[in-house]
Every structure is written in structure tokens, then in C-alpha cells.
Structure 1
Amino acid sequence: MQPHRLSRDDARRLVVRAQLLDAERPGDVVEVAEQLGAIKIDPTATIAPSEQTIPWSRIGWSYEPGQLTKAVETDRQLFEHDGQFHPVSMLAPLVATLRGRQLRAGTQAWLDANERFRADVCARLRAEGPLQASAIPDTSQVPADSSSGWHGTNQVPRMLEVLSRIGEVMVVGRVGRQRVWDVAERALPAGLPVPPLDEAQRMLEERMLQGAGLARRRSPWTPVGDAGEPAEVEGSAWKWRVDPAALAALDDDPGGRVGILNPYDRMLFDRPRLKELFGFDYVLEQFKPKAQRVYGAFAHPILVGDRFLGLLDAALDKKKETLVVTAVHELVPFDEDETEMVRAEIRDLAEWLGVGLTGVS
């Protein structure tokens, strides 16, 4: 079919609306996860953890952190995998892709060398689970390379993560920030209809495009494959895929608003797309030496309508129960209305956190 031709403004609005960052706010955290496909989990809490600020930036003042816990642990409407919360509607195709996954050669070699350890971990979970990693003995035969610093000398967390990638174990809850694990056969719903691998891959690509609105076919950050329909964007030489449902709803535009986004927000994940469509070259300065930082170690991008106009450098002072704003960096000078809208959103953020506010009038 002939590609759809989109103006750059329409392309941005498509993406913003697909990410639930327009004026029409969703009702709850499950609705957010269903549309986005995933909510990133990260312990960095300069303001609040990503799994909390991501729903708040969509839902607003009515979102309460306990809603996420209830959706995951009580209602079982969301599940955790690979550091993200996903809607349960994605469970069956995800399980199919995990069972069909080929591990990297080095990881597979480590797993093969620790076959007895693998059996020990699964046996302990079957007999005593669900368990935290700390409750499982390390009986490994061959340690993994720990030079990257991502894993310590205890091999149990690494084994659990590897087994989760191939669908043998799952995260079934958390105690604080510590994951609780169980074997997949007990964690999965009885009679889960797992589709064939090719169908599962197609389903996941369609869900990826639903959350993206517009993406490149073979993007390593937003891999949508042949999902959706072909599109061209004014001024871009890239070949795009567009979600037809999002395209059909483009004229029904509720307008824009201000969004303060956690650095691990899914909207920011595909950096090349962010630069190509929004002209926003976002660099997270968390891992830069302090002397090289311009906007702050964990600055939150500020979306106004369909433009990234600034960055919020702020931190929660828990002892003083105050959100301390160090700076609001204006990438483009704000007009009077934009200034007030951004300040109002920052005030709403402090109110949601239940703390006072300094640095913003």
C-alpha cells in the first residue's frame, strides 16, 4: 500500500497521544500499562521511582502508589518481567517468545556449565517457593564474569535472571524492592493459551507500535517489524510504521498539556526517534562526572504540548519533606503561559508527593 504522509506536527501528536501525554488523561495504572505495554521499574528515586512517576505523569493527582501494588499483587492485572510491569494481556505472547529464545553464546555456555546449579535453584523454588534470591543457596560450579559490576559474587540472582529470560522462572512479587521468584509452571495461570512463536512475535510488535504510535520497522529501541502501515513524515528520510488506530483518531485531538517525565520513561527510550521527530537530543547525565553535567544528574524532561521545552533539576529532601527545585532549564525560552503551566505541574508534583516545595513560586 502507499505510505501515509504525515506532517511533522501530526507525527509528534501521534506519538504524544500514543504515550498518553495529551490532555485526555487515563483513569488508572492498568490503563496506562495496557496502552504503553510496559512501565519501567528502577530504584533511582531522585524525585520518585520510575514505576511511580510514569503513571503519575499520565494520570495526575488521582494516582496513588498503592494502585500499582494492588494491580500487581492482588488483582494480578499486571506482572513483572525484565525490570518492567506489563499488562497480563501480554503474558501469553511473551511466554511464547521466552520459550523460543536463544541465549547469547556466553550466557548459554555459563548455563550449560552450571546445569546442576540450575536444577538446584528450580528444585528449591518448587519445594519452598515463592522465595527471594537470598533464600536460595549458591551451588554454582562456574562463576560468571563479574567485571561489569552488574552482578556480585553470589550467582543466584544471575541464575534467576537467566532462567526468567527463557521462561523457567518468574517474578511473582516484591518485599520492599527485593524480588520474589517462583517457577513458571506455578506462577502462570492454569490453561494459559500460549500462541505459536510467529504469531506471538506479531502480537508483541503490534503492542509495541500501539504504545509508540509511530516507529521505524527495524529500530533496535522500538522494534515493530511489519506491524501497522507504512508512513512517511515531512522532512524525514526514514521509513516509518504507523498505528492505524492512532492515525484514525488523529483528528479527534484533545489538545496538549505539560508532562514532567522520568528519565526512564518509555517516551524517551528511543533516542534517535526523539531527535528525529522532536529535535530533542536528550542525554541522561547520571553517569557523567559532576563537572561535565549541564542540566543535573537526573534531570526530568519537560514536555509542553508536543515539544520538549525544558528540563527539571529537582530532588526530594525526605528529611525536610520538601521537593527542592535546583533549576528549571529552558531549552527554548518559555512564554508567560508556558511558565505558569510548568510551575503548576511542578506544584502538582510536590502535592502528589505530599511534601512542600522550594525553588518555585
Structure 2
Amino acid sequence: MADALSWSAARRIALRAQGMGGTRRTTMPQAAASRRALVRTLERTHLLQIDSVSVFARAHHLPVFTRTGIWDPAALDRASRPGRSRLVRETLAHEAAFTTEEVHTLLDFRRRATSERDWDVIREIATTSPHLFPQVREALAEIGPASAAALSRHLGDTERGEGWGWRRTRSQWAVEYLFRSGELDCVGRNSQFERLYTPVPPREEPPVPEAEAVARLTALATRSLGISDPGAIADYFRLRIGQVRPAIDELLARGELTEVEVAHPAGARTMLLHRDAPGPSPLRTTALVSPFDPIVFHRPRLEQLFDVEYRIGIYTPAPQRTTGYYSLLLLLGDVIPARTDLRADRERGVLEVRGVYAEPLPHLPARQRPGTDRVVAALAEELDRAARWQGLEAVEVRTGEGTGELSRPLAAVIAAS
């Protein structure tokens, strides 16, 4: 018979496995401390999903802030550059992500599969312009790290495809293919957030076989999640459930995973608990959580554990948005009682709160729900930290229609502070 866990215990295990619950900084640290904060986060997450939206802060900067408080994201820029101090490599993991060197190596089978995939545009280029691929590599070796757009200009290739969507030049398509197949390395981003590429030196060691790589990635995902299910485990590195099931079965057979019954008002849920998962001690944490944070990667798990149904507004047409454009979840202890839509107005030095929305939490018992006063007080404190992190001097809260039921109480707390 499977062991039993309470719903709150499962949430706490999941959060602590992801590195939540520690002290969070309130002032900007020195460079070495920011690097340590990055290292501590990567030890738990193994990756930082990349997103270009910077309406408040870039998605790959937020998980470190969520876990450790104020830090300098320049530490991540330095950690992505080639050299002895490099910590991360950009690749396709959970979408585009900065990953540890270990994860980057294990995902080589995905890059090899990409090199064998039949891309119509690449097949056409290979047929009509076979010289283009070595030309791209040679040009990058000559001009140093460069974006696909800069390389295209360097080669005099300015003809873009017609229509909407990805209107790339032929050399830009070649660069994308060579990066995804592992022949180019991303060594940073420019001010337009474009990747900067260099050729990858010839490999000296043999690649990790796919079955072994999937098994090791599965083991990393289960440890990072603490308590999970096959869907969440597969989703962590964007693998298929069929790929990870043999590895899960092996972890169960070795006792590294154990089936547990998690109590839930809608009925007990069977989940997989990692042998080294942290204990379910209460968390006294308040933190903003990005929609691209590993805590919320797998939306079904988010709903199952935290009673939160989340659809990010940036992919929703404006008339259909109900909780803003880029709302961050507010974690309070082991509960997510609200989300807030933020925008950094850097010209005015103001953090704009464009909406604050209470989560329905339809299954969470009333005794576990924090009251409105506690929620807005905790959020006001966290917004002050977030503003200082982004170098902003004030927090302004919009109120009125469409801004959520918590916007007025929050505005009153901030006005009184």
C-alpha cells in the first residue's frame, strides 16, 4: 500500500525541492554573491527558461530572484560566456533555456535528431546552395561572435521570404539549423536579445547514448521536482512520457522513487516521491514566481498541487485577458493566493502594478487560505523588493475596472507605507 501525504505536505516538498524557503536578499550583493545565488538556483533547477518579454524582468532572471532575492543578472551574462568560469549553455531544453553543462551534454541526442530532421527550407538550401553551411561556419570563425542578422549582412544575404511569421534570409535559416543541430554555440545575447554564435570545436568524447541520456535527465527531473508524476517529469526537459517511463520504472525498482497517495478534496492522487526529497516543513516565504519558472512548468501539476489554473496573458488576445498581460504568481508560504500584472516604467523609475487578482483556489480549505489583509501586506513588501531589484524608486497601483479585487486594498497599503 502506498504511503500517504497531506496536500500541504506535498506542496511544501515540491517547493523545497526547488530551492524555496531560504533567506532572500533585500539589497544588491557583490558580483561573487550574485554568482553564488545563480549556482544555488541551478543546483536545484538545472536550467533557466529563456523568454524575450521584458515588461518587468526577463523570465530567465526571475527564478534566481524568486529563490534568493535581489541579485545582479549580469552574473548570468558572465556565466554564459566561454571560458573557465562558464556555468551555463544555451540549448533547447524546456523550450530555449540556459542549462548546466551536464544537461547540455545529455541533450546532445536531441541536437543529433535535429540534424537528421527533414526541414523543407534546409533541404532546399542544401540542394541549391550546399556551400552556404561551410560559408556560415567560416564567416563566424572570421568575424567572431555574431548574430544571425549580422552574419547575413556580412554575407550580403538580404533576401527574406514572403508572407508573415519567420521571414528569415537563407543564411539566417542556416544559422538556426546549425545551432539547433549543435554545430554552433550561443555565447551570449546582444542588446536586441539576439543570440551571438560561434562555431563549436570538433567533439573529442563520444556522445552519451540516447537511452542513458534520457535516464539521467529523468533522474535529474525527479530530484528537482521532489514530488511529481510522469507528465511533469517528462515535461521538465520536454521529453515524451513514453521516453521517460522505462527510467521511472527503474527508479521505482531501485527505491529512488516511491508511490505516495496525496490527499486532495477531490480524491487522493498517486504521485512519485523522490528518496532524497526534502521534508515538508512549513515555509515562511513570500515571492513572485514567473510563469516560466520550473515550479509552474507543468500546468496540470500546478493545478493538482496548488489549486491554480494558469494561462499567461501574453499569448491571449487582449479582449480575452482576465488577469493581465504578464501576471506573476504570488507565493505565500505554500499557497498561491494571488497573481499580479507588473510593468517596469524605467523612464519614470516606477514599478506599475496594473492588476492584482485573487486566485479562486476552489478546493483549498478555508482554514488554509490567507486573508486579504495578509495577502496584500505580503505582496506590498515583495513589490518593494522587486522594485529595488530593478532599480525603480516607487510602486504605483492601478485601480478600477479590470484591475482585480485586490488592487484597491494593495493601493491603500502602499499609500500608507
> So what's the TM-score if we normalise by structure 2?
0.74
Deviation string 1:44-100 (CA, Å, 9 cap, x unpaired) is 111111122221111102x11222112222621111113211122323222344335
Residue matched to 1:93: 106
Residue matched to 1:342: 379
* Partner Cα distance (2:259, 2:79) in 1: 36
* Partner Cα distance (1:305, 1:91) in 2: 33
| Alpha-carbon contact 2:189-2:195 (below 8 Å) kept | yes
Note the residue ranges of structure 2 that are not aligned, 5 or more in a row.
26-35, 252-256, 361-369, 398-410
In structure 1, give the amino acid aligned to 2:8.
Answer: D
What is the correspondence of 1:254-333 to structure 2 with a 5 Å cutoff? 255-331=283-359
* Partner Cα distance (1:273, 1:118) in 2: 42
Residue matched to 1:58: 67
In structure 1, give the amino acid aligned to 2:76.
Answer: L
* Partner Cα distance (2:318, 2:374) in 1: 33
1:36 aligned onto 2:36: no
* Partner Cα distance (2:162, 2:269) in 1: 39
| Alpha-carbon contact 1:5-1:231 (below 8 Å) kept | no
- What is the Cα deviation at residue 358 of structure 1? 1.8
- What is the Cα deviation at residue 323 of structure 1? 0.5
* Cα 1:111–1:25 shift into 2, 3 Å: same
Residue matched to 2:76: 68
* Partner Cα distance (1:173, 1:16) in 2: 30
| Alpha-carbon contact 2:185-2:198 (below 8 Å) kept | yes
What secondary structure does 2:61 align onto?
helix
* Partner Cα distance (1:48, 1:218) in 2: 29
* Partner Cα distance (1:282, 1:267) in 2: 12
* Cα 1:237–1:193 shift into 2, 3 Å: farther
* Partner Cα distance (1:123, 1:78) in 2: 25
Residue matched to 1:110: 121
* Partner Cα distance (1:283, 1:323) in 2: 23
* Partner Cα distance (1:181, 1:124) in 2: 11
* Partner Cα distance (2:89, 2:188) in 1: 9
In structure 2, give the amino acid aligned to 1:214.
Answer: I
1:130 aligned onto 2:183: no
Residue matched to 1:10: 9
In structure 2, give the amino acid aligned to 1:158.
Answer: W
* Partner Cα distance (1:268, 1:36) in 2: 12
Q: Which has the larger radius of gyration?
A: 2
* Cα 1:271–1:155 shift into 2, 3 Å: farther
Deviation string 1:148-167 (CA, Å, 9 cap, x unpaired) is 72x11323333323333322
* Partner Cα distance (1:86, 1:10) in 2: 29
Residue matched to 2:275: 244
Residue matched to 2:201: 185
* Cα 1:184–1:237 shift into 2, 3 Å: farther
- What is the Cα deviation at residue 260 of structure 1? 0.6
What secondary structure does 1:51 align onto?
coil
What secondary structure does 1:56 align onto?
helix
In structure 1, give the amino acid aligned to 2:380.
Answer: R
- What is the Cα deviation at residue 331 of structure 1? 2.1
Residue matched to 1:77: 87
* Partner Cα distance (1:194, 1:23) in 2: 37
- What is the Cα deviation at residue 256 of structure 1? 3.3
In structure 2, give the amino acid aligned to 1:267.
Answer: I
Task: Report the more deviating stretch, 236-245 or 74-83.
Answer: 236-245
* Cα 1:254–1:339 shift into 2, 3 Å: same
* Partner Cα distance (1:238, 1:144) in 2: 51
1:154 aligned onto 2:169: yes
- What is the Cα deviation at residue 146 of structure 1? 7.3
* Cα 1:136–1:326 shift into 2, 3 Å: closer
In structure 2, give the amino acid aligned to 1:77.
Answer: L
What secondary structure does 2:340 align onto?
strand
Residue matched to 1:45: 54
Sequence identity (%): 23
What is the correspondence of 1:161-172 to structure 2 with a 5 Å cutoff? 161-172=176-187
- What is the Cα deviation at residue 238 of structure 1? 5.5
- What is the Cα deviation at residue 192 of structure 1? 5.3
Task: Report the more deviating stretch, 324-333 or 94-103.
Answer: 94-103
Count, aligned residues: 349
| Alpha-carbon contact 1:133-1:180 (below 8 Å) kept | yes
| Alpha-carbon contact 2:283-2:334 (below 8 Å) kept | no
Note the residue ranges of structure 1 that are not aligned, 5 or more in a row.
none
- What is the Cα deviation at residue 28 of structure 1? 0.9
Task: Report the more deviating stretch, 335-344 or 77-86.
Answer: 335-344
| Alpha-carbon contact 1:213-1:243 (below 8 Å) kept | yes
* Cα 1:158–1:272 shift into 2, 3 Å: farther
- What is the Cα deviation at residue 343 of structure 1? 1.3
- What is the Cα deviation at residue 193 of structure 1? 6.6
In structure 2, give the amino acid aligned to 1:290.
Answer: A
* Cα 1:250–1:338 shift into 2, 3 Å: same
* Partner Cα distance (1:257, 1:127) in 2: 50
Residue matched to 1:234: 263
Match of 1:215 among 222, 228, 234: 228
